[in-house]
A = this chain, B = another copy of it.
C-alpha cells in the first residue's frame, strides 16, 4: 500500500510501503475510514524535534477492524472503532488510575496517515461502536482520537466546572476543542484568546462567550478586565510554547488551575514564581482512553460536532499539501479522505 512518510523537514511523501501486519498477538489491523494531520505533526515537519531519517506519520484514526491478533478479545473484524493516539493496555495501575497515557506499556500510535494501520494493544486502546456510523459521523468520530480528546483533557485538567470561568490560550484545533469541552462541562464564561477572524468565528460556534485578540501584557489586562480584576479559575494552555505558558499564568487567578496539553517546547517554570502565583498545574499527553466512550457517545447522539474543526479536506494522496496548508496557517486542521 501507499502511506505517508516524512523524509526530512518539509519533505512529506505518499509512497509505497509494506502492508501493515499483525506483529504481536495484541495487535489489530484497521482499514481507516478517514485520518488527519495533527498540529504536533508540524514539529517534525518543521525540523524542531531533532529526529532524523524517514518516519511513518499519523496518529489520529478511526476505521473498521480487518484482522486481530490471537490475544485480542474486545474487538473483532467488521467493527467500527476509534482509538486513542496513546496506546495502552488499560489494565495496569496507571491505566486504572485514569492515566492511560502513562501506561506501563504505553506506545504512541504511528503510521495512521495511510489506508491501513496496525494498532498495538488493541484491547486496551480501541473502542467499538454498536453499529456502523453514517458517513457524516466520520469526521466527528475521527476527532475523538486525539484533537477532541486532548482539548477535553485540557478542560478536565484545568478543573472546568459548571458555572465557572475558563480561558483558552491557543486558537489551534486543540484550543478550539478546548472551547467545546469547556462548554460541554458547563463553563458559563469561556474566553478564547485568538487573533484570527476564522478561528474566532469557530470558537464562538463551539461556545466561546468572549474573544480576546490581544496578547502578552495587553491580553492579560483584557482578561483581568473581563473577570473583575480577578483572573480565571480554569485556564487551558493548548500551545506548549514559553509565551503561551506565560500567558496562561498571567490570566489564571491564585488558586486557579492550568491544564496544559501542548507538548512543552522550551518551557521552563520558575519554582518561586509558580509558588507565589499559587497556580495548580496539570498537564500531559491526554489519557484519551479515559474519555473515549463518553466522547463517542456525545458524537453519536449529535450533542457535539467536533469535526467542524476540519476546515480542509483532501484525498490522502495529497497529504503533502495538507501539511503545507497547516504549516502556512492556511488551514486549521486537514482531514484526509481515504477513498
A residues at B contact (CB < 8 Å)? 93-94, 97-99, 101-102, 228-230, 233, 240, 245, 253-255, 260, 263-272, 274-285
Contacts and interface: CB of A to CB of B under 8 A. Distances in A.
A77 to B, nearest CB: 33
A265 B275 CA distance: 11
Given A275-B285, A281-B282, 14 more contacts: A93-B229, A93-B230, A94-B230, A94-B253, A99-B254, A99-B255, A240-B271, A263-B272, A264-B271, A265-B272, A269-B274, A275-B284, A280-B280, A280-B282
A268 B269 contact: yes
B270 A274 contact: no
Instruction: Say whether chain A's binding surface is mostly helix, strand, loop, or mixed.
Output: mixed
**From A97, A270, A278, residue with most partner B Cβ within 10 Å:** A278
A268 B267 contact: no
Interface centre among A94, A229, A233 (most CB of B within 10 A): A94
Contact of A281 (B254, B270, B281): B281
A230 B95 CA distance: 11
A272 B267 contact: yes
A270 B264 CA distance: 9
Contact of A255 (B98, B229, B255, B285): B98
Contacts of A269: 268-269, 271, 274
